[in-house]
Amino acid sequence: MTANTANTANTANTANTANTGISGDAGGWFLPDRVDLPFVEEVDAIGPIKTQRRTALGKSAYPPRNWAAKWNAWLVLDEFVGTAWKAPATVAVDAVWTPITLASTNLEIDDLVVAARDERAEALGEILSQDVEFITDFLAVLSITPGAYPGTYRVLHIASLVALYAAMHFKGDRKRPRPSEICPALMPPIPAPGHASFPSGHATQAYLMARCVEAVLTQAALPDSAVIMRNVNVLARRVARNRELAGLHYHTDSRAGEVLAQSLFTTLGGGGVGTFTTAINNAGTEWT
């Protein structure tokens, strides 16, 4: 989850030439310029083109569509943090946190030992690929590209960032050690991120992405949305489970991420975050 902060790279999509700007800022291209006649020195039939200037004043001068998905997500987060999201989220997370004991933690570690022995090898490819980012996985299961569905791509980034922000709040509060810190023999195949274990950030992000996709498809009134959502929900569970197989999270971390995601979605979709509502509505029009 460490590099998943804003899913900045999505490197697997950079070869999709129709979506050159997927990396978030300047995109994946470069523009060579001539030394003897730089483009800025060109002259057309009227005169030097360098004297021509577009309107650059006012809030409308930089339209919403120009915001890269990862940076647009920060605008939504800025509005989200002003809501009363913590109280209901704490209630949801506490329902998972309170029953955890030393004995139950040891039982969870026993389960992770078995999972590492029996399941980790087959899951290793996904464990490695999803460590950095997994928005790509959601794009794949939805059969979409950022260029064709930019609004939906934005919604996925919003879910990722808001979920990570909220998960970090509770990680800092609960300070649960990683399973491999309790049982070093679990030896995760990737470095454990430098923050606490509870709740799972990957799980929170994946489950919130799933809820947001469901909202988009509901907005679009897509006839086969139930088929799509079965796949999306399975993907969310798989992302969370892979972190357990890696020895990075307890199952209760994943469960906490799931209930936290639901609480966050309730806050986001409750009408108090206008930028989120706009994002969902815009994304819904892409599916009709």
Is 187 a domain residue? Answer: yes
Is 30 a domain residue? Answer: no
Whole-number pLDDT of residue 186: 97
Is 41 a domain residue? Answer: no
- Chain segment 104-159, per-residue pLDDT in tens: 999 999 999 999 999 999 999 999 999 999 999 999 999 999 999 999 999 999 99
Angle at alpha carbon of residue 135, lines to 132 and 141, rounded to 5°: 130
**Which residue, chain included where needed, has tokens 């969902």?**
280
Q: List the CATH number of the domain containing 81.
A: 1.20.144.10
Supply 190's token pair. 């990737």
Is 154 a domain residue? Answer: yes
Is 23 a domain residue? Answer: no
DSSP string, 101-119: -HHHHHHHHHHHHHHHHHT
Query: What's the whole-number mean pLDDT along residues 71-77?
Result: 96
Is 53 a domain residue? Answer: no
Number of domains in the chain: 1
DSSP string, 251-285: HHHHHHHHHHHHHHHHHIIIII-HHHHHHHHHHHG
Q: Which domain holds residue 111?
A: 2-16+63-287
Q: 172 to each of 63, 153, 187, 226, how far by Cα in Å?
A: 36, 29, 23, 37
Residue 188 — φ and ψ, nearest 5°? -55, 145
Supply 254's token pair. 């994943």
Mean pLDDT, the chain, rounded, equals 90
**Which residue, chain included where needed, has tokens 């906490």?**
256
- Chain segment 227-279, per-residue pLDDT in tens: 999 999 999 999 999 999 999 999 999 999 999 999 999 999 998 899 999 99
Is 47 a domain residue? Answer: no
Is 42 a domain residue? Answer: no
DSSP string, 124-185: HHHHHHHHH--HHHHHHHHT--TTT-HHHHHHHHHHHHHHHHHHHHHHHHH-PPPHHHH-GG
Q: 84 to each of 66, 258, 263, 268, 270, how far by Cα in Å?
A: 30, 19, 11, 11, 11
